[in-house]
């Protein structure tokens, strides 16, 4: 069976499984729709959280970025995993103890302000739609390649699938679907990684293969990769080119962004008890670590195979995988010198006379994990399995993000704001309608996102870091923080961060270089500066405005007190 046949089979089976789980666990009340009835076990919630968070950026794009950027790409590993430590220690148990449905719900109640609630809703929508654009692009790439359709049509197909189980199942359906999707995506990631590790280094564990010896050359794998880079004019794979300040702020933005993502935080409302929230975070970190410790090895294997198979090879003899990716527009070859040979080289490449050599090949970062098994000549079923895993990663996160959008509109905007007398049935209908609208908007954004999947997701993390993390942290641990400070901080943080990202992504992309950045900080890291600005503005404004009411002080004492009793019962 060819790759396309295997893809239809495996993707069809996994989609049937997801839809079956969604129907079995469909939401029958607003409590089911928003927080899965608060009856999810810590193990299942940890697995669902891992799937929710390990998006197309983790599965498809992170290893691709590391593969092309080498050492510089490791900043994504540090930031995304470190954020879960903050989440587990500083936020998850306290938010679960409060017992609300959503992050804007907590913000509105804690800061005794409808204005604060509405600002939080806007921030949640902004973060979620930015994040989901990357997921839908990932879906389009997978469908575009393996079903051999246009990327736009691939996005539309993904929209239809997400619409079905997100709108029908709500959080309850999404939770158990995400448990299934985690099993699919982690199996799909590990199988080719183990194959490649055996082929390239003889090691079963990819983590050991990364530090092992390349069988073809007898050199350590990373030493061989550095040698290939030097021959072709690329910067050394194991050296970093990013400035220390940029690495620091990207890491900070990704860490605190993880701890402030509304679709991740909302997962901890689904467990029965406060201590279960902590246990869930531990399980999630373990499940995430399985993929994240494998990603650097996958990146190194992919880079080694790519450089060996395409550099200085005749274009006419390129393998089938090259032609297929070229057909969908994610590989582009321009024969500048007309010799019919693919010159895939870096900026320092020269010919025998010392004259510069122009690069003729452009490869989309996001294809590396998907193309890796084909480049290595692995069996067709392994190639199709990776496609199924990539779709599981993208769709699981997309569903969680769309639920955030849905709950922000139906619960926080309507039930707690514009239509307080709405019935439970009306609220559930509004939630499903808003989820449907959000799917359409997400698909539109996914057709033409501003950057690669991981970079788009990094923007979303920066927006979360600059808006939600300070207001939630101060809302838990600062008795003096009031509504005026919270609102001013959120507005200042997200406006600054969004403005910086929009300027370099859309208004003046040519200035998107270290020389054009503020203090040498890239758009991926500017959320760290936005977070500092949020803290500074919030604390300053709170200092010169009235303190919170006594009832809020009492509620804070209850949140931080030991025990599993909820401070505010869910409606």
Give the residue-averaged pLDDT of 173-188.
81
- Residue 191 belongs to domain with CATH number: 1.20.1730.10
Q: Is residue 323 in some structural domain?
A: no
Token pair of 60 as six digits: 């498809």
CA–CA separation, 193 and 499 (whole Å): 39
Flag whether pLDDT at 107 surpasses 70. Answer: yes
CB neighbour class for 50 (10 Å; exposed up to 12, middle 13-18, buried from 19)? buried
Q: Is residue 350 in some structural domain?
A: no
Flag whether pLDDT at 529 surpasses 50. Answer: yes
Q: Is residue 83 in some structural domain?
A: yes
Q: What is the pLDDT of residue 570?
A: 43
Please say whether the beta carbons of 158 and 143 come within 8 A: yes
CA–CA separation, 296 and 300 (whole Å): 6
Q: Is residue 445 in some structural domain?
A: yes
CA–CA separation, 349 and 73 (whole Å): 22
Please say whether the beta carbons of 161 and 15 come within 8 A: yes
Domain that holds residue 22: 3-303+374-416+425-457
Query: In the chain, what is the straight-line distance between the N-terminal and C-terminal CA atoms, in Å?
Result: 53
Neighbours of 516 (CB within 10 A): 14
DSSP 8-state symbol, 330: S
CA–CA separation, 114 and 120 (whole Å): 10
Q: Is residue 534 in some structural domain?
A: no
Report how far Cα 232 is from the mean position of its chain's Cα atoms.
Answer: 32
Q: Is 331 helix (H, G, I), strand (E, B) or coil?
A: strand
Question: What pTM was computed for the model?
Answer: 0.77
Q: What is the pLDDT of residue 459?
A: 77
**Considering the chain, what is the average pLDDT of its residues?**
79
Q: Is residue 130 in some structural domain?
A: yes
Return the beta strands (E) in 239-395 as ranges.
Answer: 313-314, 331-333, 341-342, 361-363
Angle at CA of residue 425, ends 421 and 430, nearest 5° = 80
pLDDT tens track for 272-285: 777 777 788 788 88
Give the residue-averaged pLDDT of 150-159.
76
To 10 degrees, what angle do helices 42-53 and 380-407 make? 100
CA–CA separation, 370 and 60 (whole Å): 7
pLDDT tens track for 467-518: 888 988 898 888 889 989 999 998 999 899 988 988 887 788 777 788 888 8
Looking at per-residue pLDDT, the higher value among 571 and 183 belongs to 183
Percentage of the chain beyond pLDDT 70 is 87
- Residue environment code for 455-484, b if the CB has 16+ CB neighbours within 10 A, otherwise e: bbbbbbbbbbbbbbbbbbbbbbebeebbbb
Neighbours of 425 (CB within 10 A): 10
Please say whether the beta carbons of 165 and 403 come within 8 A: no
Flag whether pLDDT at 100 surpasses 80. Answer: no
Short-list 176, 213, 218, 552, CA closest to 399:
176
Q: What is the pLDDT of residue 29?
A: 55
Task: For strands 361-363 and 341-342, give the pairing.
Answer: unpaired
Q: How many domains does the chain have?
A: 1
Flag whether pLDDT at 203 surpasses 70. Answer: yes
Looking at per-residue pLDDT, the higher value among 486 and 427 belongs to 486
Under the banding of pLDDT at 50, 70 and 90, the label for residue 569 is very low
Q: What is the pLDDT of residue 373?
A: 86
Q: What is the pLDDT of residue 571?
A: 40
Report how far Cα 539 is from the mean position of its chain's Cα atoms.
Answer: 30
Q: Is residue 159 in some structural domain?
A: yes
CA–CA separation, 506 and 282 (whole Å): 39
């Amino acid at each position: 069976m060819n790759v396309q046949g295997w893809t239809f089979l495996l993707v069809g089976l996994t989609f049937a499984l997801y839809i079956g789980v969604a129907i079995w666990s469909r939401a029958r009340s607003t409590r089911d729709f928003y927080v899965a009835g608060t009856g999810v076990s810590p193990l299942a919630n940890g697995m669902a959280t891992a799937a929710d968070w390990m998006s197309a950026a983790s599965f498809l794009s992170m290893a691709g970025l590391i593969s092309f950027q080498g050492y510089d790409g490791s900043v994504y590993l540090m930031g995304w995993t470190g954020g879960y430590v903050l989440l587990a220690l500083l936020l998850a148990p306290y938010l679960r103890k409060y017992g609300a449905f959503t992050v804007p719900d907590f913000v509105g109640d804690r800061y005794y302000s409808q204005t604060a609630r509405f600002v939080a809703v806007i921030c949640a929508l902004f973060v979620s739609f930015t994040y989901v654009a990357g997921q839908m692009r990932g879906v389009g790439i997978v469908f575009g390649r393996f079903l051999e359709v246009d990327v736009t049509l691939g996005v539309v197909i993904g929209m239809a699938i997400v619409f079905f189980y997100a709108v029908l199942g709500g959080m309850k359906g999404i939770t158990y679907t995400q448990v299934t999707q985690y099993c699919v995506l982690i199996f799909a990631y590990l199988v080719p990684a183990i194959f490649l590790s055996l082929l390239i280094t003889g090691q079963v564990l990819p983590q050991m293969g990364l530090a092992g010896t390349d069988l073809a050359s007898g050199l350590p794998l990373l030493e061989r990769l550095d040698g290939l880079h030097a021959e072709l004019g690329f910067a050394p794979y194991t050296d970093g080119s990013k400035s220390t300040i940029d690495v620091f702020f990207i890491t900070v933005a990704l860490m605190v962004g993880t701890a402030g993502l509304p679709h991740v935080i909302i997962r901890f409302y689904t467990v029965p008890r406060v201590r279960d929230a902590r246990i869930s975070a531990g399980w999630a970190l373990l499940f995430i670590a399985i993929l994240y410790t494998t990603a650097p090895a996958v990146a190194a294997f992919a880079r080694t195979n790519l450089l060996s198979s395409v550099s200085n090879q005749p274009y006419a003899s390129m393998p089938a995988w090259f032609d297929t990716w070229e057909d969908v527009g994610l590989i582009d070859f321009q024969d500048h010198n007309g010799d019919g040979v693919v010159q895939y080289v870096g900026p320092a490449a020269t010919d025998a006379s010392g004259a510069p050599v122009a690069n003729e090949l452009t490869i989309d970062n996001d294809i590396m994990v998907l193309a890796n098994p084909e480049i290595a000549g692995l069996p067709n079923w392994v190639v199709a399995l990776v496609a199924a895993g990539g779709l599981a990663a993208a769709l699981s996160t997309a569903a969680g993000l769309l639920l955030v959008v849905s709950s922000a509109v139906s619960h926080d905007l309507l039930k707690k704001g514009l239509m307080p007398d709405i019935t439970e049935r009306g609220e559930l209908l509004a939630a499903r309608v808003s989820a449907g609208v959000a799917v359409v908007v997400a698909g539109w954004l996914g057709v033409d996102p501003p950057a690669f999947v991981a970079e788009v997701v990094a923007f979303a993390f920066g927006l979360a870091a600059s808006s939600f993390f300070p207001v939630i942290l101060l809302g838990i641990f600062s008795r003096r923080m009031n509504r005026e400070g919270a609102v001013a901080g959120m507005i200042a943080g997200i406006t600054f961060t969004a403005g910086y990202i929009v300027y370099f992504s859309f208004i003046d992309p040519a200035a998107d270089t270290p020389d054009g950045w503020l203090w040498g900080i890239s758009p991926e890291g500017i959320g760290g500066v936005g977070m500092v600005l949020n803290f500074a503005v919030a604390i300053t404004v709170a200092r010169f405005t009235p303190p919170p009411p006594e009832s809020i002080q009492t509620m804070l004492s209850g949140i931080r007190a030991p025990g599993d009793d909820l401070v505010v019962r869910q409606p």
